[in-house]
């Protein structure tokens, strides 16, 4: 895990922060996401039909997006932060399907760090890669604010 002092976070702008460990996207995780969100579309949860019609079920795009905090949790520790909040996203693109059973990881780059509302607004480019595939599953510019 990379570490930086809150006062020095701007020194990382333009740099790759790190790459997460791989995480398998299981059918159980997909089903739990479907239950939590009410999105029970067959391409995600009907294993038999999805296998017959499209080679197997795929993860929800928003499930892939929701993995960003989990995958990024071990990439950067900002010493001196008292709290952080999600502020939003500027861009989110789902560029590849994550088939159930595949593994994903995240590559994170700090795009900007600007003072905001008594804290520091961080914009990161988060790329969710699929093991063994050229195209990523998701590319998102996420925004958070951390306070020291």
Summarize the chain as % helix, strand, coil (round to 5). 30, 45, 30
Whether domain 2-25+60-147 has CATH 3.10.129.10: the reply is: yes
pLDDT tens digits, 95-139: 999 999 999 999 999 999 999 999 999 999 999 999 999 999 999
Beta strand pairing call for 103-116 and 23-24: antiparallel
Average pLDDT over residues 84-100: 96
Contacts of 123 by beta carbon, 8 Å cutoff, 6+ apart: 90, 110, 111, 112, 113, 141, 142, 143
d(CA 92, CA 138): 7
Mean pLDDT of the chain: 97
Q: Where are the domains of the chain?
A: 2-25+60-147
Identify the pLDDT of residue 140: 98
d(CA 147, CA 64): 27
Which structure tokens are listed for 127?
């790329």
pLDDT tens digits, 59-76: 999 999 999 999 999 999
d(CA 14, CA 22): 24
Q: What is the percentage of the chain residues whose pLDDT exceeds 90?
A: 99
């Amino acid at each position: 895990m990379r570490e930086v002092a809150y006062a020095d976070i701007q020194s990382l702008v333009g740099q790759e922060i790190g790459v997460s460990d791989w995480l398998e996207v299981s059918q159980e995780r997909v089903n739990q996401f479907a239950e939590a969100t009410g999105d029970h579309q067959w391409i995600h949860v009907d294993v038999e039909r999805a296998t017959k019609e499209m080679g197997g079920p795929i993860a929800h795009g928003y499930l892939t997006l929701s993995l960003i905090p989990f995958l990024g949790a071990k990439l950067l520790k900002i010493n001196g932060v008292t709290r952080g909040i999600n502020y939003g996203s500027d861009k989110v693109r789902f560029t590849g399907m994550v088939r159930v059973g595949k593994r994903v990881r995240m590559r994170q780059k700090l795009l900007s760090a600007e003072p905001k509302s008594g804290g520091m607004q961080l914009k990161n480019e988060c790329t969710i890669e699929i093991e063994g595939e050229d195209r990523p599953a998701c590319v998102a510019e996420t925004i958070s604010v951390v306070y020291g």
